[in-house]
């Protein structure tokens, strides 16, 4: 039976808030570690440095840790339900592919845009989730919810706006590449949400640990095939040999991902993809602040105004859920 969000009980609200806090805490540290890995400079010798560019390998390791964490949960705390087997395997396959493409595109975008830009860009996630949820997932939403989403869009537009006298064409082209990757990531997020809506309809709704396990299993197959075919598995291994200090960062990053992802799947299975996307987007405000504080990324006044509008819209949406 799907949780009723139109008239939520106190117990339902507490469950929602508890899982939202779990997402906030885990992905706060996840974001810091992600930027440390992808934006860090790694020294080869006194004159030579290099960057971490092995996005597919990072995602593959992340999915492996997520999978084993889900297996542990299924054997200890959250036993499989009889309805788990009713979910069509192909839905997991499609959902995993779109989820993986969203994650890879988002991580790759960091090679061209600053982390705060990536975070605020991903704050648009409720928009494709809502639109494709209506078109493909059979959902409907109130006018008030559409207005809150419009406020989020306005905030994102302000954040992404660049004056004409800003960067050189080379920098602008690089930034455009990053933004196109973010658009692709958001489109894949919307498709993922639409498929998840179908998966949780009726009696076939799986429990959160089963969904987490199956989606990461398919994601491992996809991502490992990609790094094997492209040869990235070998260059990634060589990078880790040259810079063993990155291994601890990758492990910590993956553990935070696994812990946070479970809270996300609880939100998806019990409350739906849209409330989940709103929670994951709201937590990004704190990630932006962490990026500014720990990594020296500077936001303009217009960007701060855009960020404020984004999170006001998200806050209103959360209050009037």
Tokens of 94: 């499609």
Reply yes or no on whether the pLDDT at 170 is more than 70.
Answer: no
Tokens of 125: 């996630």
Residue 41 β-bridge partners: 51
pLDDT at 2: 45
CA distance 321 to 317: 6
Q: Which of 74-78, 186-190, 233-237 has the highest mean pLDDT?
A: 233-237
pLDDT at 285: 62
CA distance 213 to 282: 25
Q: Which of 98-102, 167-171, 279-283 has the highest mean pLDDT?
A: 98-102
pLDDT tens readout for residues 220-233: 999 999 999 999 99
Higher-scoring residue by pLDDT: 95, 153? 95
CA distance 87 to 131: 23
Residue 43 β-bridge partners: 49
**Residue 192: pLDDT band with limits 50, 70, 90:** confident
Mean pLDDT of 290-314: 73
Mean pLDDT of 100-116: 79
The DSSP annotation for 46-75 comes to SS-EEE---HHHHHHHHHHHHHHHHHHHHH
Q: pTM value?
A: 0.70
CA distance 160 to 188: 20
Reply yes or no on whether the pLDDT at 81 is more than 70.
Answer: no
**Residue 284: pLDDT band with limits 50, 70, 90:** low
Query: pLDDT averaged over the chain?
Result: 78
């Amino acid at each position: 039976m799907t949780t009723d969000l139109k008239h939520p009980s106190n117990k339902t609200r507490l469950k929602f808030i508890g899982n939202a806090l779990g997402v906030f805490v885990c992905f706060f540290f996840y974001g810091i570690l992600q930027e440390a890995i992808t934006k860090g400079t790694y020294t080869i010798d006194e004159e030579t440095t290099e960057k971490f560019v092995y996005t597919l390998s990072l995602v593959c390791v992340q999915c492996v840790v997520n999978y084993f964490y889900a297996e542990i949960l299924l054997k200890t705390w959250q036993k499989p339900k009889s309805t788990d087997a009713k979910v069509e395997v192909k839905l997991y396959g499609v959902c995993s592919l779109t989820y993986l493409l969203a994650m890879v595109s988002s991580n790759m975008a960091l090679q061209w845009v600053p982390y705060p830009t990536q975070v605020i860009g991903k704050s648009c996630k409720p928009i494709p989730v809502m639109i494709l949820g209506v078109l493909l997932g059979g959902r409907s939403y109130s006018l008030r919810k559409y207005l809150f989403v419009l406020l989020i869009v306005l905030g994102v537009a302000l954040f992404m706006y660049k004056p004409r006298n800003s960067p050189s064409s080379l920098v602008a082209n690089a930034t455009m590449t990053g933004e196109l990757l973010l658009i692709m990531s958001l489109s894949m997020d919307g498709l993922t949400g639409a498929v998840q809506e179908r998966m949780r309809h009726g009696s076939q709704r799986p429990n959160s640990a089963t969904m987490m396990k199956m989606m990461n299993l398919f994601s491992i197959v996809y991502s490992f095939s990609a790094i094997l075919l492209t040869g990235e598995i070998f260059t990634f291994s060589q990078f880790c040999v040259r810079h063993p200090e990155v291994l601890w960062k990758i492990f910590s990053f993956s553990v935070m991902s696994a812990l946070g992802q479970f809270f996300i799947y609880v939100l998806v299975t019990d409350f739906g993809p849209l409330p989940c996307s709103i929670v994951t987007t709201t937590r990004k405000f704190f990630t932006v602040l962490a990026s500014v504080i720990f990594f020296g990324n500077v936001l303009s006044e217009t960007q701060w105004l855009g960020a404020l509008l984004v999170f006001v819209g998200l806050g209103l949406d959360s209050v009037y859920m």
